[in-house]
Amino acid sequence: MHWTRILGIALLVGGIILLLMGYDATESLGEELHREFLGSYTDETRWYLIGGGVMAAVGLVLTLFGARR
């Protein structure tokens, strides 16, 4: 297995973990109150969701299309 596929798998797993952490954070009481009064998620939760989505997407692309021989 080529190193780009290994990196892709690692990024995909890390991205999924960050997405799950971000989703968990959206369900917390503090996050619900922040969203209710200010209309948006906290910066930390947003970064978990955005970072996890980008990491998962890059990891998926590297896993599927990395190092074609």
Domain locations in the chain?
3-65
Does pLDDT of 69 surpass 90? no
Does pLDDT of 24 surpass 70? yes
pLDDT averaged over every residue in the chain: 89
* Structural tokens at position 27: 């369900």
Cα–Cα distance measured from residue 50 to residue 47, given in angstroms and rounded to the nearest whole number: 5
Q: Given this model, what pLDDT does residue 59 score?
A: 96
Report the pLDDT averaged over residues 14-26: 93
Provide DSSP, the chain: --HHHHHHHHHHHHHHHHHHHHHHHHTSHHHHHHHHHHSS--HHHHHHHHHHHHHHHHHHHHHHHSS--
Does pLDDT of 68 surpass 80? no
Put simply, whether the predicted model's pTM sits higher than 0.75 gets the answer yes
